[in-house]
Amino acid sequence: MRAMLLDSPRTPLRLAELPAPEPAAGQLLLAVEACGVCRTDLHLVDGELPEPRLPIVPGHEIVGRVVALGAGVDSFAVGARVGVPWLGWTCGTCAFCTGGQENLCDAARFTGYQIHGGYAEYTVADARYCFPLPEGPAAAELAPLLCAGLIGYRALRLAGAARRIGLYGFGAAAHILAQVLVHEGRPFYAFTRPGDAAGQRFARELGAAWAGGADEAAPVPLDAALLFAPAGEHVPAALAQVSKGGTVVCAGIHMSDIPSFPYRILWGERVLRSVANLTREDGLDFLELIVRTPIRTSIRRFALEDANEALAALRGGRIEGAAVLVP
């Protein structure tokens, strides 16, 4: 099979011919229909995530068809369409796993990081961590939901009942979450790279109450701000924009250092917190939500062998919505 391999950080992915994997007990063998290109993949390639398994096939927004079942799998049938997310395995026995916080498991393994992912024609995945997907939408349109959608949803849950919500970084996650917010009648305010007129136009097309640069102030105080851009300087900026009792959620797996800031912008019972991965419950809840919520993912398709081009476009802010590899 063809696959894109990362041999070492800060080097381009390499197109390789690899043996098709065999499903072990409890696993599914999948023919990859589409795999989203996530900013986490960019952090991996750029050497910003510690201790990846190398060489590794990246990719954790996988839509695939079940080709074969490993021993003991009875939750899916051959031919079923399934989604494979970032969380690929947990121990199931630690205090986090047994306490409903499997996303914090210290022994967790992640798709496209410690487990070969979806930048390939075939992959294997633990059936317990896969999600059933609907047949109607195109695979490329579903792929971004498996991380960008899920992480955006978890970030929103951590913001509680906030009504007026700021979205910093209007890319794959924010453009999906924006549609959820519009459907729920909650106004959102989009913060893009300064001068990004196209990104601000895109946000307004999706219903933004206001769109401007991350160096600007929203016209009203916010109840919460969700940070998808990996820029630490957005944290104090967002804290300064949320009302007393408001929440700032850092939704990325990696962020540049947060600069010092005066205590007064945190005071007033404002909350600063992070999102770490996701749980299977998040995935099931989100997939149930999108059945009731009309969501259109804006995507740009790339061939598998053009994965480096897709990553460069993402790094340069040239993707409106999400990039997706289609083998």
Q: Is the pLDDT of residue 181 over 90?
A: yes
Residue 292 has pLDDT above 90, yes or no: no
Domain boundaries, the chain: 2-144+297-326, 149-274
pLDDT range class, residue 290, cuts 50, 70, 90: confident
CA-derived radius of gyration, the chain? 19
Which residues lie closer than 8 Å to 184 by C-beta, 6 or more apart? none
pLDDT band at 271 (very low <50, low <70, confident <90, very high): very high
pLDDT score recorded for residue 36: 98
pLDDT at 320: 93
Predicted pLDDT at 291? 86
Across residues 190-211, what is the average pLDDT? Answer: 96
pTM over the 0.85 mark: yes
- Which residues are CB-neighbours of 197 under 8 A, at least 6 positions away? none
pLDDT tens across 216-256, in order? 999 999 999 999 999 999 999 999 999 999 999 999 999 99
- The CATH number for 2-144+297-326, chosen from 3.40.50.300, 3.90.180.10, 3.50.50.60, 3.40.50.620, is 3.90.180.10
Q: What is the pLDDT of residues 116-133, one digit of tens each?
A: 999 999 999 999 999 999
149-274: CATH topology is: Rossmann fold (3.40.50)
* Secondary structure element (H or E) that encloses residue 222, with its range: strand 222-227
Per the CB < 8 A criterion, the answer to whether 17 and 221 are in contact is no
